[in-house]
Structure 1
Amino acid sequence: MDLMGMMGKLKETQQKIEDTKKRLDTVLIDEQSADGLLKVTLTANRKIKSITIADSLLEDKEQLEDYLIVTLNKAIEKATDVNQTELDAVTKMDMPMIPGMDELFK
């Protein structure tokens, strides 16, 4: 088994993972409430970029809170899916198959 070659490959894969994470900062996920009164934008790394709230929601604190929870959770779920898919693609494509190695990337 070529340990040096595998270590080089591992470093290369880690670099690709870092590059992918940086790129995911530029991938935007838009989500909105069913009626469009609340809109949120997140990066694929699950950082909130913007929240837009219709004036009518400002009159009802509880409704606004409910809207934020539901809409943000949907956006986070979408962002997580994109993030996981992208990172899985990098690790599966480049990783040499070493028993137990997949545990490192969980």
Structure 2
Amino acid sequence: MFGDMMGMMNKLKEAQKKVEETKERLNTVLLKESSNDEKLSVTITANRSIKSISVDDELLGDKEMLEDYLILTINKAIEKATKINEAELAAVAKEGMPNIPGMDMLK
């Protein structure tokens, strides 16, 4: 029994290490999201860190329109990055979970 416990602890540590490695890798995954008319684009990492924003000169003359474009496009980029982030981390976590009796409800 004690050996089983040690094995589970080691598997949990390994899973935690893989989760951390995945988080680091997701910092390098870049996603680009653009407005429907391509006048504004946002580049974001899968960890939801904005790397760049590109704005068409036409938007610079209308503050309210620019703000609307920023809100819509950034929210779309964050939504896309969140889906990728959660899927990647869930896959790594599920793969590394030890077989603990009664915990099969996570599947």
**Alignment identity in percent?**
62
Partner Cα distance (1:102, 1:45) in 2:
27
Corresponding residue of 2:54: 52
Give the corresponding residue for 1:80: 82
**Tell me, what secondary structure is at the counterpart of 1:75?**
helix
In structure 1, list runs of 5 or more residues that go unmatched: none
Map of 1:66 onto structure 2: 68
C-alpha distance in structure 2 between counterparts of 1:65 and 1:101, whole Å: 46
- Return the alpha-carbon distance in structure 2 between the equivalents of residues 42 and 59 of structure 1: 25
Q: Give unpaired runs (5+ residues) of structure 2.
A: none
Are the structure 2 counterparts of residues 39 and 102 from structure 1 closer, same or farther at C-alpha, using a change threshold of 3 Å? farther
The number of residues matched between the two structures is: 103
CA distance in 2 between counterparts of 1:54 and 1:102 reads 50
Distance in 1, matches of 2:6 and 2:84, equals 33
Q: Over the residues paired in the alignment, what is the CA RMSD in angstroms?
A: 1.7
Q: Is 1:92 the counterpart of 2:103 in the alignment?
A: no
**Partner residue of 1:43?**
45
CA distance in 2, matches of 1:101, 1:52: 46
Paired residue type of 2:55: I
Taking structure 1 as the reference length, the TM-score comes to 0.91
Which protein is bigger by CA-based radius of gyration? 2
TM-score computed with the length of structure 2 as normaliser? 0.90
| Counterparts of 1:24 and 1:74, CA distance in 2 | 18
- 2:23 corresponds to which letter in structure 1? K
CA–CA distance in structure 1, aligned partners of residues 69 and 19 of structure 2: 34
